[in-house]
């Protein structure tokens, strides 16, 4: 367990030191929300009375979690 904790702690430190990864992991979802969510909100009609932003937010969250976990896994493979 100590090895896993050490690798986790090292990856967290690398992540916090890398400004581009932080901006990418926070900026891309905000970009998609602003451009796709609010930009297409008036064009797309969703049945059930919900707005397009409510429809697209779970997908943006899932995409962010998926890509962040993929990039973290790549770091482990590189080690």
pLDDT in tens, 13-28: 988 898 888 888 888 8
Confirm whether pTM is higher than 0.75: no
Q: Quick check: 37 and 28 in contact, CB under 8 A?
A: no
Extract the tokens encoding 32. 């998609």
Report helix, strand or coil for 51. coil
> Domain limits of the chain?
2-78
- Regions in the chain scoring below 70 on pLDDT: none
Q: Quick check: 32 and 12 in contact, CB under 8 A?
A: no
Report helix, strand or coil for 39. coil
């Amino acid at each position: 367990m100590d090895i896993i904790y050490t690798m986790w702690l090292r990856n967290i430190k690398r992540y916090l030191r890398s400004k581009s990864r932080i901006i990418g992991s926070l900026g891309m979802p905000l970009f998609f929300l602003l451009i796709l969510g609010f930009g297409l909100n008036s064009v797309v009609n969703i049945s059930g009375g919900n707005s397009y932003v409510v429809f697209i937010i779970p997908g943006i969250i899932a995409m962010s979690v998926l890509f962040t976990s993929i990039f973290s896994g790549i770091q482990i493979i590189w080690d």
